[in-house]
Amino acid sequence: MDVFVYGLLLLTLSKCVVSKSPHIVFIVADDLGWNDVGFRNPDIISPNIDYLAKNGMILNNSYVQPVCTPSRNAFLSGFYPFKSGLQNFVIVPWAPSCAPLNRTFLPQTLKELGYATHMIGKWHLGMCKWECTPTYRGFDTFYGYYNGKEDYFNYTIFNHTDFRDNKEPTRPYEYSTYAYARRADKVITQHNKSQPMFLYLPFQSVHEPIEVPEIYENMYKNLKNEGRRKFSGMVTALDDAIGNVTDSLKRNGMFEDTLIIFTTDNGGSPKYFGNNYPLRGGKTTVYEGGTRASSFVYGSGLQKPNTVFDGMIHAVDWMPTIISAAGGAQVRGTDGLNMWPSISEGVPSSLRSEFIYNLDDSEFPIMGHAAIRIGDYKLIEGFAGVYNGWYPVPENETVTERDDPKVAYYQLYNVKEDPTEHNNLYTKEHSMLKKMKERLEEYKKYIVPPVSMKPDPASNPNNYNGYWTPGWC
């Protein structure tokens, strides 16, 4: 065969080959603050997180919801919480509720694309019936707990155990961060390498209770405040676990073909020693400290590593973005936008120009009544959350008493020029205030009532050998 013709044949064949879908590891840290990572705060020891962030792409304007359940629902469904009944707070263990069952979750779509799907860690999207739980919502395997928080060593919440290996009740006998890293290694090692893998890894860390093995606390002897010392140790334990996961990917020849996504579910809690300084507020608020996430991507598909991406991305965007990275079709009908072309190519994006921080018209809007972002501007209407000040890292043995400022009913900020939300423009920017109020009213038409949090006696773990167990609603 003529060499030229042979070359053309090879070129044609190469164009017909479908690119291999990457393995995807989606890591969610719990209650990790803006100032709780080493790549922003040199006092934090997080070499693995820092390496992945600095050698990948730091997402400088990545937004989440003010608390756990709403963010997790947004990650997996692509819908805003106010359209899902999850805008008021988190799903509590005794609530006869869960994330809407009529929504397709991310792992369900990935399974259709040929992925093996695994979840390790915290669910917190409801568990009153089995249909609400991970293995019924697209995950091949599940190893973790259903509810929002529990003891890191004995796996109990409200004096009853909450832990499952798939559907079977169990209890590891080690610090939970160790247990999750150990299971991740097992999943990765046993994975069929010819099949793409999706590993959703929402760690318990660093949510309260503030518990950590002494070896990690001792790494921060320079910190006088005990709570902050232990919390910082928890971050380093989390970082070690992430290092163990990346080591496992390397040992199994999968690391170079893996896309790693890292985000927190909400900002740090000042009450439990998380820190978002210099951003305002914290967990449970619609201020930047409660909603602007420490986040990055690393690995397969990134054309411009070692960069910072300044485009806005919201929690609802992760579902269509991950599906696109996996080679799937454009997702339609959700609130999410596919940010993968911009992220993968490292090009500026104006695709996401607005989003809702929260909308909650109930009597007690625990995590903020209403807030919207349009371009560089942010409008907060009414109650913004219980932490509305600025909270430096505690430097003494005791935490200084809070001195939160009084706030106006409307707060309007140019977040690009004023990311710490000091300068309320609502009496100056009249046209912008009017525009954003009108847009907020449009979104309010789509609010659905919050799911029920009414305690159901049928949920009592004493009915199930002391385990929090589905099957009662």
pLDDT in tens, 139-161: 999 999 999 999 999 999 999 99
The mean pLDDT of 292-316, rounded to a whole number, is 96
CB 128 within 8 A of CB 453: no
Is pLDDT at 14 greater than 80 in this prediction? no
Q: How far apart are CA 450 and CA 448, in angstroms?
A: 6
Residue 399: pLDDT band by 50, 70, 90 thresholds? low
Residue 19: pLDDT band by 50, 70, 90 thresholds? low
Is pLDDT at 401 greater than 70 in this prediction? no
Amino acid at 257: D
Residue 260: pLDDT band by 50, 70, 90 thresholds? very high
Q: What is the pLDDT of residue 2?
A: 53
Strands 377-381 and 410-414: antiparallel
Amino acid at 223: L
Q: What is the pLDDT of residue 33?
A: 98
Select which of 68, 98, 128, 132 is catalytic: 68
First to last CA, the chain: 70
Q: What is the pLDDT of residue 115?
A: 98
Residue 403: pLDDT band by 50, 70, 90 thresholds? confident
Q: What is the pLDDT of residue 9?
A: 41
Q: What is the pLDDT of residue 405?
A: 87
More confident residue, 15 or 90: 90
Q: How far apart are CA 109 and CA 321, in angstroms?
A: 12
The mean pLDDT of 359-383, rounded to a whole number, is 96
Select which of 23, 98, 118, 124 is catalytic: 124
Q: What is the pLDDT of residue 319?
A: 98
Q: How far apart are CA 11 and CA 352, in angstroms?
A: 37
CB 70 within 8 A of CB 81: yes
CB 211 within 8 A of CB 153: yes
**Lookup: tokens for 45:** 């020891």
Q: How far apart are CA 274 and CA 61, in angstroms?
A: 19
Strands 313-314 and 141-145: unpaired
Residue 20: pLDDT band by 50, 70, 90 thresholds? confident
The mean pLDDT of 362-381, rounded to a whole number, is 96
Question: Cis omega (within 30 of 0) on the bond before 209?
Answer: yes
**Lookup: tokens for 237:** 């334990």
> What mean pLDDT is reported for the chain?
94
**Lookup: tokens for 442:** 């449009």
The mean pLDDT of 40-53, rounded to a whole number, is 98
Is pLDDT at 315 greater than 50 in this prediction? yes
CB 340 within 8 A of CB 328: no
The mean pLDDT of 373-379, rounded to a whole number, is 98
Is pLDDT at 406 greater than 80 in this prediction? yes
Q: How far apart are CA 336 and CA 260, in angstroms?
A: 19
Residue with tokens 């269509």: 320
Is 124 designated active site? yes
Spell out the alpha helix ranges (H) of 220-270.
226-251
Is pLDDT at 336 greater than 60 in this prediction? yes
Residue 394: pLDDT band by 50, 70, 90 thresholds? confident
Q: What is the pLDDT of residue 10?
A: 39
Is pLDDT at 8 greater than 70 in this prediction? no
Which residues, at least 6 apart from 114, have a Cβ–Cβ distance to it below 8 Å? Answer: 21, 195, 196
Spell out the alpha helix ranges (H) of 119-190.
176-190
Is pLDDT at 280 greater than 50 in this prediction? yes
Residue 92: pLDDT band by 50, 70, 90 thresholds? very high
Residue 262: pLDDT band by 50, 70, 90 thresholds? very high
Q: What is the pLDDT of residue 13?
A: 37
Is pLDDT at 7 greater than 80 in this prediction? no
Q: How far apart are CA 102 and CA 79, in angstroms?
A: 12
Which residues, at least 6 apart from 262, have a Cβ–Cβ distance to it below 8 Å? Answer: 27, 28, 29, 49, 52, 53, 242, 294, 295, 296, 297, 298
The mean pLDDT of 434-444, rounded to a whole number, is 98
Is pLDDT at 470 greater than 80 in this prediction? yes
Is 68 designated active site? yes
Q: What is the pLDDT of residue 400?
A: 62
Residue with tokens 């318990």: 204
Residue in 341, 63, 103, 75 with CA at minimum distance from that of residue 201: 75
